[in-house]
Amino acid sequence: KQEVTQIPAALSVPEGENLVLNCSFTDSAIYNLQWFRQDPGKGLTSLLLIQSSQREQTSGRLNASLDKSSGRSTLYIAASQPGDSATYLCAVKPRIYSGNTPLVFGKGTRLSVIA
């Protein structure tokens, strides 16, 4: 059964620092991996989607990489700002059968950027 782990569970950094959030998954048979942001009491906002054939995706100050063979993904945030404070979740879509297989989520990393 696919499992997704995010370490650390919480992270606090000073403003301006570049940082990396980690995501690992146990089964490399995936269609894609998606990174989300969640603010307290809100829904999840999609940040980046990486297909299994891709190595990375970039959006603004965010860069996500995927190493499917080792079961790892990283989310790099450049020049962090207090507005980046949120919980970041990663999720993989298992390659079980065709169709819209439900994603498997990690528990998230809670990021605090201190001004």
Partner 1 sequence: DGGITQSPKYLFRKEGQNVTLSCEQNLNHDAMYWYRQDPGQGLRLIYYSQIVNDFQKGDIAEGYSVSREKKESFPLTVTSAQKNPTAFYLCASIGRVGPDGELFFGEGSRLTVL
Binding site for partner 1 (CB under 8 A): 31-32, 34, 36, 41-46, 49, 51, 89, 91, 93, 95, 98-103, 105-108
Strand ranges inside 8-106, DSSP E:
10-14, 19-25, 30-38, 44-51, 56-59, 62-67, 72-77, 86-94, 104-105
Residue 41 beta carbon to partner 1: minimum distance, rounded to whole angstroms:
7
CB of 84 to partner 1, least distance (A): 19
What DSSP designation does 56 have? E
Q: Which residue has the tokens 């950094």?
A: 13
Q: For the CB of residue 74, give the shortest distance to partner 1 in the complex, in Å.
A: 19
Which helix or strand (DSSP H or E) is residue 114 part of?
strand 109-114
Q: Which is nearer to partner 1, 31 or 76 (CB)?
A: 31
Our CB check for partner 1 shows the closer of 18 and 112 to be 112
